[in-house]
Structure 1
Amino acid sequence: MGRDNLQHEFASRRLRHATRRHFLKDCATGLGAMWFAMQSQRPAAASGAPAGFLAPPARAKRVIYLHMVGAPSQLELFDFKPELKRVDGELCPESFLEGKRFAFLQGRPRMLGPIYPFKQHGESGAWFSDRLPHMARCADDFCVVKTLQTDQFNHGPAQLMVHAGQPRMGYPAIGSWVTWGLGTDNADLPGFIVLLSGGRQPRVGKALWSSGFLPSVYQGVQCRGEGDPVLNIANPDGVTRADRRALIDTLDALNEQTYEEFGDPETLTRTEQYELAFRMQAAAPDAMDISREPAEVLGRYGAQPGGESFANNCLLARRLVERGVRFVQLFDWGWDSHGSNASEALDDGFRAKCRQVDRPTAALVEDLRERGLLEDTLVVWGGEFGRTPMQENRGGVTSPYYGRDHNPNAFTVLMAGGGVRGGYTHGETDAMGYDVVRDPVPLRDFHATMLRLLGVDHERMTFPFQGLDQKLTGVKPARVVEQLLA
Structure 2
Amino acid sequence: MDHVYQTPMTRRDVLQKTACGFGGLALAGLCAENTATAGKKSSSLQSIKEPHHPPRAKRIIFLFMQGGPSQVDTFDYKPALEANHGKSFTFNDARTIAKTGKRGTSQHVMKSPWEFRQYGESGRAASDLFPETASHMDDLTFVHSMHTDGVAHGPATLFLHCGSTNFVRPSFGSWVNYGLGSENENLPGFVSLSPSTGNGGPRNYGNAFLPAIYQGTAIGNASKAIKEATLRNLSNANLSPTQQRRQLEFLQNLNQEQLGSHSQNSELEAVINSFELAWRMQNNVPDVLDLNQETKETLDMYGIGDKETDDYGRQCLMARRLCESGVRFIQVNYGDNSANPAWDQHSNLPRHEQHARAVDKPIGALLQDLKQRGLLEDTIVWWSGEFGRTPYSQSNGTGRDHNPGGFTTWLAGDCLKSGLSYGSTDELGSTAVENKVHMHDLHATLLHLLGLDHEKLTYRYAGRNFRLTDVHGHVVEPIIS
Q: TM-score interval w.r.t. the shorter chain? A: 0.7 to 0.9
Instruction: Check the 8 A contact 1:84/1:112 in 2, yes or no.
Output: yes
CA shift at 1:163, angstroms? 1.4
Equivalence map 1:63-462=2 (5 Å): 63-93=60-90, 100-102=97-99, 108-196=106-194, 200-224=196-220, 225-227=226-228, 229-236=230-237, 238-263=238-263, 264-304=265-305, 309-333=311-335, 334-340=341-347, 345-347=348-350, 349-393=351-395, 398=396, 402-462=398-458
CA shift at 1:452, angstroms? 1.1
* SS of corresponding position for 1:160: helix
Instruction: Check the 8 A contact 1:160/1:208 in 2, yes or no.
Output: yes
* SS of corresponding position for 2:113: coil
| 1:484 matched to 2:479 | yes
Q: Partners in 2 of 1:469 and 1:103 — Cα distance?
A: 38
Instruction: Check the 8 A contact 2:391/2:429 in 1, yes or no.
Output: yes
Q: Partners in 1 of 2:310 and 2:192 — Cα distance?
A: 13
Name 1:27's counterpart in structure 2. Answer: none
* SS of corresponding position for 2:88: coil
Instruction: Check the 8 A contact 2:40/2:277 in 1, yes or no.
Output: no
1:207–1:95 CA distance, 2 compared to 1 (3 A): closer
* SS of corresponding position for 2:173: helix
Instruction: Check the 8 A contact 2:58/2:450 in 1, yes or no.
Output: yes
Aligned-CA RMSD value: 2.7
CA shift at 1:463, angstroms? 1.0
Q: Partners in 1 of 2:197 and 2:229 — Cα distance?
A: 18
Q: State the AA in 2 paired with 1:242.
A: T
Q: Partners in 2 of 1:408 and 1:442 — Cα distance?
A: 10
* SS of corresponding position for 1:172: coil
Q: Partners in 2 of 1:153 and 1:108 — Cα distance?
A: 19
* SS of corresponding position for 2:252: helix
Q: Partners in 1 of 2:240 and 2:447 — Cα distance?
A: 43
Name 2:27's counterpart in structure 1. Answer: none
* SS of corresponding position for 1:282: coil
CA shift at 1:127, angstroms? 1.2
1:99–1:233 CA distance, 2 compared to 1 (3 A): closer
CA shift at 1:227, angstroms? 4.0
CA shift at 1:133, angstroms? 0.6
CA shift at 1:425, angstroms? 0.3
Structure 1 unmatched runs, 5+: 12-40, 47-52
Q: Partners in 2 of 1:427 and 1:94 — Cα distance?
A: 20
Q: Partners in 2 of 1:141 and 1:387 — Cα distance?
A: 25
Instruction: Check the 8 A contact 2:58/2:328 in 1, yes or no.
Output: yes
CA shift at 1:350, angstroms? 1.4
Name 1:32's counterpart in structure 2. Answer: none
* SS of corresponding position for 1:147: strand
CA shift at 1:86, angstroms? 2.0
Instruction: Check the 8 A contact 1:54/1:456 in 2, yes or no.
Output: yes
1:403–1:104 CA distance, 2 compared to 1 (3 A): farther
CA shift at 1:305, angstroms? 11
Q: Partners in 1 of 2:229 and 2:144 — Cα distance?
A: 39
1:73-98 CA-to-partner distances (Å, cap 9, x unmatched) read 11110111111112222234265689
Percent of residue pairs identical: 37
CA shift at 1:231, angstroms? 1.5
Q: Partners in 2 of 1:226 and 1:169 — Cα distance?
A: 34
Q: State the AA in 2 paired with 1:356.
A: A
Instruction: Check the 8 A contact 2:40/2:188 in 1, yes or no.
Output: no
Q: Partners in 1 of 2:346 and 2:372 — Cα distance?
A: 39
CA shift at 1:258, angstroms? 3.0
* SS of corresponding position for 1:437: strand
Q: Partners in 2 of 1:173 and 1:460 — Cα distance?
A: 17
1:169-190 CA-to-partner distances (Å, cap 9, x unmatched) read 5211111111111112210010
CA shift at 1:42, angstroms? 9.8
CA shift at 1:472, angstroms? 1.1
Instruction: Check the 8 A contact 1:215/1:266 in 2, yes or no.
Output: yes
Instruction: Check the 8 A contact 2:61/2:379 in 1, yes or no.
Output: yes
1:259–1:133 CA distance, 2 compared to 1 (3 A): same
